[in-house]
Amino acid sequence: MIYLFVLLIAESFQNIIWHAENNTKMLFRTTYRNMAFQAVAPIQELFTDVALFVFGSEMNVDEFVNRFFDSLFPLVYNHLINPALTDISPDFAECVRMARKDLNPFGNLPKLIMSQMSKSLMASHMFLQALNLGIEVINTTDHLQYTKECSKALLKMLFCSHCYGMTNGKPCMGYCLNVMRGCLAAMAEIDPHWREYIRSLEDLSNGIQESYDIEHVLLNLHSLVNDAIMNAQINGPKLSAMVNRACGHPIRKPTQLLEHQTDPYNDKPGLKITHKEDEETLSNRRKEFINSLRLYRTLYGGLADQLCVNDLAAADGLTCWNGEDLVNSYTHEVVGNGIKAQSSNPEVKVKGTNPVINQIVDKLKHINQVSRPVTK
């Protein structure tokens, strides 16, 4: 189940990012057409960085948002604040770009976008990271090798009765529990950390749904970008004077060097700002998954018991195999789950912890710890 959900959730994130990029491009196509062509590259770079961060790259959100607005300011200056027949020269454009932070042409909008994106993208980043760890835990535990002591105990429990002609006798419940709890003792050590892991996923999911909703933040980003550009337009004369002081008077490309720029949208008349259908939303997929995942909260703590109760052991009151004979009941002590409880296990000798399980526990502890600040 978790494998399918990770694929679906990854697809949902990709769709959200694609729609957000499309919305931002269409803002320029419809409202700022004269700089739409030149805005394509910074927009694509911004959303490439968004995708890289969400899907696991360690990047600084503030840095790539700042890069976007640094690249945007020369375009806004050239086409809206101080327009002319030819573009500003590359050197002058670079000076304008470098001056953006000091001149603050977009007001508080870049900081607002940084704040919203940092929270929403980090929550989504952590959510996907946690999901991938869940897959790793399941894959690892699914392929764990039984110890020799466990293999012998399983062979004795499941097949030795056949040697005595007792082909219909299932293991006694207590006998089965001792064998399976001994075999799965190391795996049971995952239980408290797995439970906390599921709680962490629930908290991350709730956090994404509330103040860190990536759908809301990204799909409304174009509106904040528009507000930022309008802020620069309103303060155009003041900004023009500030640019003159910082970079000198505009240096323009010679008319004969003006490059012909093809509008990339001319062959796409049907493009428009898009909205996600409700049934396709990330929120719905996330809720469905979390509701299903709660059923597996006790997976590792109760696995031995589930195997015995649901499949391996004889029902109460029936004649059963105790490892030596068919009997009416199992008379040895039945131990609990986990490594410590196995010291008195009469059926399986458990020598100690499993290093692979220890690594899994450490990873679960880590993801549970680092997810706490994101959800607070």
Q: Where are the domains of the chain?
A: 2-374
| Whole-number pLDDT of residue 256 | 46
Spatial separation of the C-alpha atoms in residues 53 and 20, rounded to whole Å: 15
CA proximity to 360, closest of 199, 200, 189? 189
Length of the chain: 376
Residue 369 half-sphere exposure toward CB, CA atoms < 13 A: 6
Q: Give yes or no for a contact between 6 and 131, defined as CB atoms under 8 angstroms apart.
A: yes
CA proximity to 214, closest of 59, 72, 55? 55
| Whole-number pLDDT of residue 375 | 57
| Whole-number pLDDT of residue 259 | 47
Spatial separation of the C-alpha atoms in residues 147 and 163, rounded to whole Å: 23
pTM: 0.80
| Whole-number pLDDT of residue 249 | 87
| Whole-number pLDDT of residue 101 | 92
SS3 for the chain is CHHHHHHHHHHHHHHHHHHHHHHHHHHHHHHCHHHHHHHHHHHHHHHHHHHHHHCCCCCCHHHHHHHHHHHHHHHHHHHHHCCCCCCECHHHHHHHHHHHHHHCCCCCHHHHHHHHHHHHHHHHHHHHHHHHHHHHHHHHHHCCCCCHHHHHHHHHHHHHHHHCCCCCCCECHHHHHHHHHHHCHHHHCCHHHHHHHHHHHHHHHHHHHCCCCHHHHHHCHHHHHHHHHHHHHHCHHHHHHHHHHHHCCCCECCHHHCCCCCCCCCCCCCCCCCCCCHHHCHHHHHHHHHHHHHHHCCCCCCHHHHHHHHHHCCCCCCCEECCCCEECCCCCCCCCCCCHHHHHCCCCCCCCCCHHHHHHHHHHHHHHHHHHHHCC
Residue 314 half-sphere exposure toward CB, CA atoms < 13 A: 22
| Whole-number pLDDT of residue 88 | 85
Mean pLDDT by runs of 10 across the 376 residues of the chain is: 77 92 96 94 97 92 96 95 83 94 95 94 89 90 89 92 78 95 94 93 79 84 97 95 91 57 50 52 78 85 92 88 90 93 93 90 92 67
